[in-house]
Amino acid sequence: MDVDNPTDTLLGLIFNYRDGDGDIGLNAADTFPPFNSITGFNNVQLNPYHHNLKVDYLTEQLDGTFAPVILPNTTDTLKIQARVENITPEGKYKAIRGEIDWQILPPPFAELSRNIKVKIQIYDRSLNASNIIESPIITLP
């Protein structure tokens, strides 16, 4: 990785999870409703359950508050979505807890503040949404 080239920088997100019935994550074969992929204009994912991990970027404003990042030339906010693999444990007792370590590229827009936050939410296979967690301030290089 070239430390002088911020395009090579990854943003590491580590967050804890806990689930009473252990139905976190999707299998590669989970492509039927409600987990199927339905895309609209500009390949925007219309099915909210196809991706079970949602990350919203917030950028620091001049007044010190944080607001969603608006994509250039649109009114859409910057959202990163992914599919977390099935992590259901084997055996009779399914309750699980642990941490997810996920690495993504930071937002590429030059007009962004160097200070960002992310909000993260995950859905289980029963379509239950987790609490939304918000990161502390992250200073980009």
pLDDT tens readout for residues 130-139: 999 999 998 8
Nearest to 76 by CA among 54, 52, 49, 44: 44
pLDDT tens readout for residues 62-100: 999 999 988 878 888 888 889 999 998 888 888 999 999
CA atoms within a 13 Å half-sphere pointing along the CA-CB vector of 3: 0
Q: Which helix (H) or strand (E) holds 118?
A: strand 115-122
34: preceding bond cis by omega (within 30 degrees):
yes
| pTM summary value | 0.80
Look at phi and psi of residue 136 and say left if phi exceeds 0, alpha if psi is from -120 to 50, else beta.
beta
Domains detected in the chain: 6-139 (2.60.40)
User: Do 54 and 122 touch, CB atoms closer than 8 A?
Assistant: yes
